[in-house]
Structures are given as C-alpha cells and as structure tokens.
Amino acid sequence: MKLPKDILTIPQLSRQNIERILFEAFKFKEYRGAPKARDQVLEGKSIALIFEKNSLRTRVAFEAAVSYLGGHPIFLAGDNILYRAKSDTSRESIGDITQNLDRLAHGIAARVNNHKSLTDIAGYSKNPVINLLCDEHHPTQALADLMTIQWHKGKTNGMKVAFIGDGNNVATSLMDICAVMGMDFSIASPAGYEIPKKFQDIAKTIISQTNSKLEFITDPKKAASLADVIYTDTFVSMGDEAESKKRALDFKTYQVTTEIMRCAKSDAIFMHCLPAHRGDEVAAEVMDSKQSVVFDQAECRLHIAKALLYLLYK
C-alpha cells in the first residue's frame, strides 16, 4: 500500500502503511553495509532538511539516510529562512520558501516549532514533506519506538505501553501508533499536563476499530502495572524552559525508578526518546540497566528514516 505524499502525523497512516515501513526498516537493519542497487532511489536528488530546533538523532539519521539512498541532504537552519512575522521583511513567507525549494530540491523534511508551519509547507509543496518534530507530533520517533518494541519483544500485538510524564508531542504520537496497531496505552501525567483532549479524541476514534485500550490517569504505578514497555521523556521540552522550576515540582513524583519498573512485567523494557536527564525523569540505575533499550531505540531512527525515504521515492 502506497504511503501518503506527506508524513505529518501517525493517524494519516494505516496499519498496512506502518507494517510496510517496519518491514523495510528491518531489511535496512539487516544489511547495514554498503547500499544495494535497489536502494539508490535518491540518486541525483536532494532533500532539504529544515531545522528550527536543535537535533542530534533526527538530523544525523536523516542526513545519513539521504546519503545512503544516493541523495544529497541540504541542511537549512530554520531560524535563517522561516517566516516569523508580517513586520519581518527580511524573511520570505512559507509559501515563497516552499515554492523555491520545490524547484531546487526533491522533498522537504522539517523540524519546526509549530505544526501549522508543516501543514503550510505541505499545502504549497508538490514534493513529499516529512514531519521531523513539531509542537504537537513526532511521527518518525513513534515509528522508531514501534520498531524497537518489535525488535526486543518479537511482536507488538497484545503489548501494553506505559508512558510516565508530560503529555507532549512524543506521548501523542506514541499513543497514536499504539491505537493504530492495536496496542494498549496508559499514560500517567500530573493534572494540567495531559495529552490534549483533541488528540485523545482522535485516538479514541481509532481504537473503536482496533480494540486498543487507552488510559489517562495521574498515578504512575497504576499506569506501569503489568506493562511490557515503560517510556518517559524529559519533563521540560524545548520551548518550555521558562517553566522548568514549576515543572520540576509538578513532576517530582513522576521519575521512572526501579520501584516503578517493578510494577511492570518482569521482562519489561525501558524506553526514552533522548536526550535523557538522569536523576530527573529517570533514575540513573534504570537508564543504565539491562532493561534499558534507549540506544537501540536511537539506532532505529536511522532505519526508519531510510524506510520512509525509500518508500516515498522508489
């Protein structure tokens, strides 16, 4: 089944789409050496990579993936090109930027502050657009998360994923992919930090067809109970730095500790999208334990990037 032109959110993808992405990602994982002839789908092509936010894993994964597939990645610092305000005459509008890039490159992957920037870019672009992160969603991370679960558990069906912490973009896309794939998802967040209701409602519509179970609670131990996967993310995401002191207090009891891990199944894995802050959202002994698969999870970002680009351009 062909992928949509643009990959902006997980609910845009069908279960068949996601299964195909994972199938190709595992093939890329298996042969990590020199590219094979069939892989050179980006030969003679360039992909514009727009980054408004700092990045390690996403930038390296996509630059490496574009190069692996025979293409040329063009890094563009978002604060140098993206339109900010009507009074800022030194920058072009998103429409003008996109129509230029459509003539100069063969696709756009963007890590931006606001989801609307992505929908605007996609609306103007005739070429594929990939969401590398925005304030609302992080679909490529969720795909890598699913691959990690498949890698370490051998399956995704029947799995329970527990997210402990902020109902942010990572949590939203993880919830979405669990809903699409028929996995149970439980999230424990302090009051006021829940996944936005509009995204909860979308996931609830999806699970009416997939029989997943969703749980939105405040008790971390209850969320972690009998989970196959325990997942957390930083309590202070990029853009939330001004709230760091308040968040430190509000999330004080939400650190993933060995006690939280003991609430899960004995063979549960620990996941984190990174960067991690040992001693804040996760105890050092959990982060560095045998249950932790965070660096395998980071590796999956590369395989997913290759798979997405391969399927979009083959």
How far apart are the two ends of the chain, measured CA to CA in Å? Answer: 13
Q: 151, 133, 144, 129: which is closest to 30 by C-alpha?
A: 151
Q: Which residues pair with 231 in a beta bridge?
A: 163, 271
Query: Over the chain, what HEC string results?
Result: CCCCCCECCHHHCCHHHHHHHHHHHHHHHHCCCCCCHHHCCCCCCEEEEEECCCCCHHHHHHHHHHHHCCCEEEEEEHHHHCCCCCCCCCCCCHHHHHHHHHHHCCCEEEECCCHHHHHHHHHHCCCCEEEEECCCCCHHHHHHHHHHHHHHHCCCCCCEEEEECCCCHHHHHHHHHHHHHCCEEEEECCCCCCCCHHHHHHHHHHHHHHCCCEEEECCHHHHHCCCCEEEECCCCCCCCHHHHHHHHHHCCCCCECHHHHHHCCCCCEEEECCCCCECCCECHHHHCCCCECHHHHHHHHHHHHHHHHHHHHC
Angle, in degrees to the nearest 10, between helices 169-181 and 197-210: 10
Catalytic residues: 111, 138, 141, 233, 273, 301
> How far is it, in rounded angstroms, from Cα 12 to Cα 118?
14
